[in-house]
Amino acid sequence: STIIAALKESGDENRVAITPDVAAKLVHSKFEVMIEQGAGQNAYFSDQAYQDAGAKVVSRDDAVSQANVIATVDLPDSETLGKLHEGQILIGLLKALTDLDSVQKLAKQKVTALSFELLPRTISRAQSMDVLSSQASIAGYKAALVAADKFARYFPMMITAAGTAKPAKVLVLGTGVAGLQAIGTAKRLGAIVSGYDVRPASRGEVESLGAEFLTSSVSAVGEGGYARQLSADEQKQQQDELIGFIKQNDIVITTAQVPGRKPPLLVPQAAVDNAKPGSVFVDLAASDLGGNVAGSKPDQTVITDSGVQLIGAGNLASEMATSASEMFSKNVQAVINDVADKDAQITIDLKDDVMSQLVATDHGEIISERVRKALN
């Protein structure tokens, strides 16, 4: 029968691609499930829990050599990639648009690689497979908590015998999946929240959470529900308008991304310089290429001379490994259900509207149009 395996992730990654719950469901659907020893440990799923679910706990070599399908959260290390064999299916956040060397390696080894970054998000059948959304939603929630934790004042209004504390003012820049979750969480903590985006369509979503939508003078709707990149003039105009909005807030959470590009700079140095001491910026887009906030660094907190905290988010979903793995694993299960028949035999139809985009490589070829473009 078809064997599905999950590997232990490397580095600081705490998530696991298959939970015991999903393992049990796959076993029920006639798959054989193999889990690398210790794979669930950092997300609090024990080897015993997998065994109880009907999965086999095995060594990495056994999983890699025997599995028909390997599910991972992140792209496996190059040694592991080198051991994959022809016809094997690899599914995970494989960085197909950004780690082009690895994609080409997977193609050369004739692995069928499904990279969640490529999933079309506006096709409703793909919603249950949408790892970017499930993990962004966790990161947005956690970003609001990180901000509250580092802020030296209350989020809610407090009326006490020792006086009244004003509620914190939180501004969320980029109100997609993560931003909306950050707004909802900050609202639940009692802050006064506003949101800002270059997609006017997100106004309704922001307002339905009880937050104010700050109208952007730049409108930048792109393909597939995403924002497009701004021109240099638009970017300058946006930064100037944001300086005014930012000054009125204590906390700024930024989430703006443009797929496959360096994140836009939304908070210029002047806005950081003008922020009140004790202000907190949480930059979910912080990366080695730069983020949304001038001076932010991934996985680091920078405190400026004027006492402004710039928190570059790292892998926030990994810090909530149990919930994140549960959702990730459901997304993986949805993909498997989509391509398997009732006898647990897998056939991937490359003409299908979802698979034609999700599949990066197959039979030695680069299938994804987006990856091909990135290679040129």
Q: Which residues are catalytic?
A: 121, 127, 130, 133, 226
Q: What's the closest the beta carbon of residue 277 comes to ligand NAD, in angstroms?
A: 26
**Taking contact as CB under 6 A, which single stretch among the options 34-42, 187-195, 223-231, 309-317 is the one that binds ligand NAD?**
223-231
DSSP class per residue in 48-103: HHHHHTTPEEE-HHHHHHH-SEEEEEEPPPHHHHHH--TT-EEEEE--TTT-HHHH
DSSP code of residue 34: E
**At its nearest, how many Å lie between ligand NAD and the CB of residue 162?**
40
Q: Within 10 A of 164 (CB to CB), how many other CB atoms are there?
A: 8
Using Cβ positions, the residue closest to ligand NAD within the complex turns out to be 176
Q: Is 123 exposed, middle or buried (0-12, 13-18, 19+ CB in 10 A)?
A: middle
φ, ψ (nearest 5 deg) of residue 115:
-110, 115
Asked if 217 touches ligand NAD (CB under 6 A), the answer is no
331 vs 333, beta carbon nearer ligand NAD: 331
Sole binder of ligand NAD in the list 200, 225, 277, 307 (CB under 6 A): 225
- Give the x/- contact pattern for ligand NAD in 234-263, rule: CB under 6 A: ---------------------xxxxx----
- Residue 63 CA to residue 253 CA, distance in Å, equals 40
Q: How far is the CB of 213 from ligand NAD (least distance, A)?
A: 12
Amino acid at 165: A
Minimum Å distance from CB 172 to ligand NAD?
Answer: 10
In the complex with ligand NAD, the residue whose CB is nearer, 162 or 232, is 232
34 is an interface residue for ligand NAD by CB under 6 A: no
**301 C-beta neighbours (distance < 10 Å), count:** 15
* Residue number, 102 or 216, with CB nearest to ligand NAD: 216
Decide: is 374 part of the binding site for ligand NAD (CB under 6 A). no
* Cα separation, 80 vs 116, whole angstroms: 19
Give 154-220 as a DSSP string: -SS-EEETTEEEPPPEEEEE--SHHHHHHHHHHHHTT-EEEEE-S-GGGHHHHHHTT-EEEPPS---
Q: Are 250 and 151 in contact (CB under 8 A)?
A: yes
Contact range with ligand NAD by CB under 6 A, out of 37-45, 97-105, 222-230, 328-336: 222-230
Order of all β-strands in the sheet with 280-283? 212-214, 192-196, 169-173, 251-254, 280-283, 309-312, 301-303
Site string for ligand NAD, 353-372 (x = CB under 6 A): --------------------
- Quote the tokens at residue 110: 């004739």
x/- letters, 158..197, toward ligand NAD (CB under 6 A)? ---------------xxxxxxx-----------------x
Binding-residue pattern over the window 105 to 134 for ligand NAD, x denoting contact by CB under 6 A: ----------------xx----x--x-xx-
Which residues form the interface with ligand NAD (CB under 6 A)? Answer: 121-122, 127, 130, 132-133, 136, 173-179, 197-199, 202, 225-227, 230, 255-259, 264, 266
